[in-house]
Amino acid sequence: MDEGFEELPTRVMGTVRRVLRPLARLMIRHGITLPAIVELLKQVMVDVAIHDFPVEGKRTTDSRISVLTGVHRKDVKRFREMGFRRNDVPKRVSVGMQLVNAWMTAPGWQDEEGHPLVLPRDSKIEGEKDFDMLANQISSDVRPRAILDELLRVGVVVLEEDRVRLVTEAFVPTESEAEKLYYFEQAAYAHLMAGVRNLEGHQPSYFDRVVQYHSIPPEALPAIRAILEDDGMTLLKKINRRASAAKDSSAGEPRFLAVGLYYYDEPASDEEN
């Protein structure tokens, strides 16, 4: 028998407590204190209540939002008037991610075996594909040299006698905190939303699976990580190629998509994606 309804809020609070621990670590490390987080949490709760819990045919009043969230009506009014801030994609993440993705998936930029071509830095042969051509297809606002310097900085490409080779099929920043936070935000949000929607009974349920052990000997971990890095990347590259080929083919409402060893999608937002 399911536990009583009155016990569920306590279980939910226990779950939220553990989920908040890594976020508390992140906040303390960056000097973000409780008053700032309380203000942010109020704003997020009001935003979610407005957009995710409307009553059909009725206006969502400040009083109703206050009842749902516990946020005072004057704060609800203030947040509505000031708007809800969205996070911007760091420029270097956006351009670099798009270029690497096109290099891996766009027609004409891979060899017969599907591997990204090794590109001349700036070919003098008419009609030959080069790095500058690829970069200019992605962005007309950022110079190809600036994009190349950034990819060299993070170790995604190497120069071999004025030819550019992609050395890892993922744009994973290694230094910029803004870039790291962007990827963390995208993955953590999607994974949590997949789990929350499943708890709400969403059908069909989102794929969300984990292998969990509590007594693995340390010497076994490198082999397990190697399986993930090899087979996991193979799967993600396959999904990436399929998604890239399909992204402009539908006239329907576009969806935001994230896949780890979980799956989540939702209507795409022009403000966030």
Say which CATH number the domain at 116 has. Answer: 1.10.10
User: In terms of residue numbers, what domain contains 96?
Assistant: 91-166
How wide is the angle at C-alpha 119 spanned by C-alphas 105 and 161, nearest 5°? 150
Pick from 166, 185, 208: which residue ends a domain?
166
Give yes or no: residues 156 and 231 share one domain: no
Q: Is the peptide bond before 107 cis (omega within 30 degrees of 0)?
A: no
Reading across the β-sheet that carries 163-166, which strands appear in turn? 119-120, 163-166, 157-159
Give yes or no: residues 254 and 223 share one domain: yes
With a CB cutoff of 8 Å and minimum separation 6, the contacts of 254 are 247, 267, 268
User: What are the helix and strand counts (H, E) for the chain?
Assistant: 10, 5
Residue 180 placed within a domain:
yes
Residue 99 placed within a domain:
yes
Residue 30 placed within a domain:
no
Residue 3 placed within a domain:
no
Per the CB < 8 A criterion, the answer to whether 157 and 165 are in contact is yes
Helix (H) or strand (E) holding 41: helix 34-52
Residue 160 placed within a domain:
yes
Give the pLDDT of residue 168.
63
Give the pLDDT of residue 1.
43
Pick from 144, 166, 188: which residue ends a domain?
166
Give yes or no: residues 257 and 189 share one domain: yes
**What Rg value do the Cα atoms of the chain yield, rounded?**
23
Residue 266 placed within a domain:
yes
Give the pLDDT of residue 193.
93
Give yes or no: residues 263 and 183 share one domain: yes
Pick from 131, 166, 201: which residue ends a domain?
166
**Distance from C-alpha of 156 to C-alpha of 166, rounded to nearest angstrom:** 6
Give the pLDDT of residue 100.
86
Total domains in the chain come to 2
Give yes or no: residues 150 and 198 share one domain: no
Q: Tell me, yes or no, if the pTM score tops 0.85.
A: no
DSSP reduced 3-state for 125: coil
With a CB cutoff of 8 Å and minimum separation 6, the contacts of 156 are 96, 100, 166, 167, 168, 170, 171, 172
Per the CB < 8 A criterion, the answer to whether 159 and 202 are in contact is no
Give yes or no: residues 216 and 254 share one domain: yes
- Tens of each residue's pLDDT in the chain, 273 residues: 455 556 778 889 999 999 999 999 999 988 888 988 999 999 999 999 999 998 888 888 999 999 999 999 999 999 988 887 666 666 666 687 788 888 887 888 988 877 889 999 888 888 889 999 999 988 888 889 988 988 888 788 999 988 999 986 555 555 567 778 888 888 899 999 999 999 999 999 999 988 888 888 889 888 988 888 888 888 888 888 788 777 766 667 888 888 888 899 888 865 444
Residue 189 placed within a domain:
yes
Residue 128 placed within a domain:
yes
